[in-house]
Structure 1
Amino acid sequence: MTLIDLGEVRGDGEPASASRPPRAVGRPLRVTLALLLALSLLASSTSVARPASAVLGGRLGIEVVVLDGRVYLLDPGAPGADGAREVTAHGTPTGAGAGVRTLWRTVVPGLGRLGGVQEQGGVALLVDYRTDGVQTLAVDAGTGERRWQQAGYPVLAAGGGLLLLGDDIERGELRSVDPTSGRLRWSVPGRLGWAAFADRDEDGAAEQVALVTAAGGIELRDTASGAVRASLVAPPGGWRGDLQVEVAGDLLLAFEQDKGEVRRVTAYGLAALDRRWALEQPTFGYAGACGPVLCAYAYRGFDLSGLDPATGGIRWTNPRWQTVIAVRGDRLLAIADEQAGGTASHLGVLDAATGREVADLGSWDLAFSRTPGGPHYGTRADRDGRSLVVAELDLAGAAARVRDVLPGAAGDCAADGRDIVCRRHSGTYGWWRLPA
């Protein structure tokens, strides 16, 4: 394996001057003899093509984002400093031994916490969580040149657009802006309530947004034009407490909450907001799409249930599993309740139609790909603790398929497609390209 140590990665010269969130659908058995054998064969076989590796500078506490051929390092800034936080972008290597290229560095002023990167229209959107609200800073993805900065959390919209949501992510004014210039396209004024997004395209961009209006109604708007596609007024007597909405397949679910508990959930057809069914005093606090069913998460305890989307009736309940974190057809990737809150997650594959456990995958740290639809990876230390085993979490095959062993890697991984970046035991970060 070729190892290219770039130290702190001071750059390849001056950058070129030419321009170029929330919510998860959810959260060990010991390793089987078959998996131990597979790891042993993988570690000892000379026929396994190991990926090239390059070392990125950085220190503990930075956030790493791998996205569309770039690796972003977001430094939180030194305690007690002036609030300056450095963002570095690297281009991933083009092949074995090529090494990473430092594209640019920029300093973000302020005392907030940088918490993620998105890309749209050739710009990188840096999310800055401040005490006075969320800010979005747009820089050129190729050069790091500052473009614009505005209040609000960025949500990618279909057709290359960008939505900015309120000052506290899910409440407040909604604006649509041009991602390259920040120019306003359309807005919904006033203090809005909850927002949810529908019909995401292959890039994860939303085509519709459902809003709880300042007047207490619900509107479904086109994200490109802002036009209202369907609307619903509050029922006679109003809602039973605060209203939150969630898009689940072709349904809009309206949750009426009072003092932290859901009093009623009503399902509406997404196209016309026509009422389908309602549940009084449901036993769950949240529900979302899970292939052929709605996954419902209990208020108390960790029971996971599958609801019939046509009636809201319970099809199955599985008390072992806490939450669902990925859906692929009729298979669900779920987290068991026994290790909730731990550093690793005990994972399993469930059949969506019945809730039956198809496979127990054991305990893995998650390294989700930023590519919509995966692949998703799990990592854990090998037997001697000096390397990191990477497995692809295959829902269709109901298996954790070992893809590689990364020498010197310790964890804290981020991935996109076949590119994966992990913290090394030395404290720096390494890049690997997983085998095809």
Structure 2
Amino acid sequence: MMIELDLSTPWEPPPPPRQRRRWPLVLLVVLVSLAAFSAAVPQARATPAFEVEHNVLSVDGAAGRVFAGRFGSVGGNTRLTAYRLRDGAELWTVPIEPSQHFTYVDADVVVLNTTWEESGSGPATTVTVLDAATGARRWQRGYVQVMGRYGGLMVVADLAATRGFPPLPYDPSQDPTVNPTPVPRAQRYQGLDERTGGVAWTVDVPPGSLAEASWTGTGYRLDGFTELDPSGELRRRDLATGAVTETRQLRFAGTLSSYATHGEQVVVNLAGQRGADVFDRASGERRWHWAGDQFNWLFACGPQRLCAGDETGLDMFEAGTGRLLWHLDRYANFRGYAGHSLLLASFEQPSAEHPEIRVVDPDTGRVERSIEGWRALASDGDRLVAWRSTGSYSALLATVEPATGRVTVFGRPGEWYGAPECTVTEGSLACVVVGRLSVWRLPPEPAA
């Protein structure tokens, strides 16, 4: 059963049920029998495909499996359980530490991390890799931080190389709009075989230089790895081998606070300065200066486009020149693209009671469509999966087609409150809401 909502008029909840009359006993028996019969008929996409009702902490999914972290009953161990996506059958369950959390999952492995604070060195992380088919531990390594994955490799920062270097201390007298000066220290990055933990390559970055990984899509997938030194030399490396494949010279020299590569542009934040300089990667020339602060970073938001958002809204710039193309008030929660249209959402604050998704023309900033009352959960191709509250403990689940504004309701959870944790995997939505896992089938995507 799929319900198409007409968004031309404001949505209102259905009226409360009318008070029931007293029926003759015989008729009541007949009605009860019919009700029992009809309740046994599955209501397609109105109820979850399967549920785990208690003690669920987190969820992820891939390759026909749903993985749920669950805390045990009193005195019991925290466990990781794999369910078959098709029917909810339990495939395996293994004990894990309460502090272990999902990093990513795929067809072969489940990657968990544990983070703790080490005196004098700041946060440290242990990575544990399990076999996705059986739950058996494949390998474990301490003092590494996962940056992403590429092919069959996991790219990590080797935190053991920086042990003994305390994190940058908080200075209450420092101007928060000035780019901070990091503690100079050597860094080491490695490509590890995802299945065995064996080292495929190692890159050592000297003190004063910085390295940066860039991602594509979701699931920790990497599409670039670069390093930049204080003289402005930018090196691009092959993620499969760690070898340098390109060297460029940017026209600057100074202490680096941070940097990021976005296509043909490199955004550099120099320590002790305000804002960022944007360089052309090919020529090395500085193209423009952005006067924002360290709390509102420039980020890529389309081909040859950079954006910056804060509590006032979103600015979109032409990446090569810095020309401000448009500003949109209030909406700064960038949700990506659906076809040519840009998707923005309001943050939970200050609009927790009035959520909204806006479909925007990226060329002009013109709002093409407002979809009110819905909170985006995840993307599924060119559509969004969203929810809206219908009461203190109930909600609607739906897919939203930004191109048309069509909302297709596929679920009516009866116990839904608080902030859900959700993932979309292979045509299904899996959500954890206050310890309860529910898995829902998404309606088919409309024909092109």
TM-score (norm 2): 0.72
Conserved in 1, the CA contact under 8 Å of 2:231 and 2:253?
no
Match of 2:134, SS state, is coil
1:185 aligns with 2:193: no
Conserved in 1, the CA contact under 8 Å of 2:358 and 2:370?
yes
Instruction: Report the Cα distance in structure 1 between the residues aligned to 2:313 and 2:214, rounded to whole angstroms.
Output: 27
Match of 2:254, SS state, is coil
> Runs of at least 4 residues of structure 1 off by over 6 A?
76-79, 201-204
Q: Which moved more, 1:313-322 or 1:338-347?
A: 338-347
Instruction: Report the Cα distance in structure 1 between the residues aligned to 2:128 and 2:257, rounded to whole angstroms.
Output: 30
1:251 aligns with 2:265: yes
Instruction: Report the Cα distance in structure 1 between the residues aligned to 2:245 and 2:283, rounded to whole angstroms.
Output: 10
Correspondence for 1:366 among 359, 376, 388: 376
1:116 aligns with 2:102: yes
Match of 1:189, SS state, is strand
Structure 1 residue 323 displacement after superposition? 3.1
Correspondence for 2:188 among 150, 173, 185: 173
Conserved in 2, the CA contact under 8 Å of 1:76 and 1:114?
no
Correspondence for 2:358 among 327, 331, 348: 348
Conserved in 1, the CA contact under 8 Å of 2:60 and 2:105?
no
Partner of residue 279, structure 2: 267
Q: Which amino acid in 2 is paired with 1:160? A: G
Partner of residue 222, structure 2: 206
Instruction: Report the Cα distance in structure 2 between the residues aligned to 1:364 and 1:114, rounded to whole angstroms.
Output: 32
Deviations along 1:43-71, one digit per CA (max 9) or x if unpaired, are: xxx998336521214326x1122333222
Q: Which amino acid in 2 is paired with 1:197? A: A
Structure 1 residue 353 displacement after superposition? 1.0
Correspondence for 1:36 among 11, 27, 32: 11
Q: Which amino acid in 1 is paired with 2:410? A: D
Q: Which amino acid in 1 is paired with 2:317? A: L
Conserved in 1, the CA contact under 8 Å of 2:308 and 2:314?
yes
Conserved in 2, the CA contact under 8 Å of 1:157 and 1:224?
no
Instruction: Report the Cα distance in structure 2 between the residues aligned to 1:395 and 1:256, rounded to whole angstroms.
Output: 39
Structure 1 residue 408 displacement after superposition? 2.2
Partner of residue 9, structure 1: none
Q: 1:379 to 1:52 in 2, by over 3 A?
A: closer
Correspondence for 1:420 among 414, 423, 429: 429
Structure 1 residue 36 displacement after superposition? 3.0
Partner of residue 81, structure 2: 88
Structure 1 residue 263 displacement after superposition? 3.5
Conserved in 2, the CA contact under 8 Å of 1:158 and 1:224?
yes
Structure 1 residue 364 displacement after superposition? 3.0
Correspondence for 1:396 among 391, 394, 403: 403
Correspondence for 2:154 among 162, 182, 189: 162
Structure 1 residue 226 displacement after superposition? 0.8
Correspondence for 1:294 among 285, 289, 305: 305
Instruction: Report the Cα distance in structure 2 between the residues aligned to 1:47 and 1:56, rounded to whole angstroms.
Output: 18
Structure 1 residue 308 displacement after superposition? 0.6
Structure 2 gap segments, 5+ residues each? 15-40, 119-123, 163-181
Q: How many residue pairs align between the two structures?
A: 380
Q: 1:203 to 1:263 in 2, by over 3 A?
A: closer
Match of 1:173, SS state, is strand
Instruction: Report the Cα distance in structure 1 between the residues aligned to 2:257 and 2:233, rounded to whole angstroms.
Output: 9
1:54 aligns with 2:60: no
Partner of residue 306, structure 1: 316
Percent identical residues: 20
Task: Give matches, 1:223-242, under 5 Å.
Answer: 223-232=239-248, 237-239=253-255, 242=256
Conserved in 1, the CA contact under 8 Å of 2:269 and 2:277?
yes
Conserved in 1, the CA contact under 8 Å of 2:230 and 2:253?
no
Q: Which amino acid in 2 is paired with 1:253? A: V
Deviations along 1:270-328, one digit per CA (max 9) or x if unpaired, are: xx4733513163478312222245343256x4231110122121111112222312223
Root-mean-square deviation (Å): 3.9
Deviations along 1:241-277, one digit per CA (max 9) or x if unpaired, are: x43222324433222343xx743322333xx473351
Deviations along 1:213-255, one digit per CA (max 9) or x if unpaired, are: 598854321111111122356756514xx43222324433222
TM-score (norm 1): 0.73
Conserved in 1, the CA contact under 8 Å of 2:265 and 2:320?
no
Conserved in 1, the CA contact under 8 Å of 2:237 and 2:245?
yes
Q: Which amino acid in 1 is paired with 2:245? A: R
Conserved in 2, the CA contact under 8 Å of 1:304 and 1:317?
yes
Task: Give matches, 1:211-222, under 5 Å.
Answer: 211-212=227-228, 217-222=233-238
Instruction: Report the Cα distance in structure 2 between the residues aligned to 1:314 and 1:249, rounded to whole angstroms.
Output: 19
- Which of the pair has more CA radius of gyration? 2
Match of 1:219, SS state, is strand
Conserved in 1, the CA contact under 8 Å of 2:331 and 2:344?
yes
Q: 1:182 to 1:308 in 2, by over 3 A?
A: same
Conserved in 2, the CA contact under 8 Å of 1:157 and 1:206?
yes
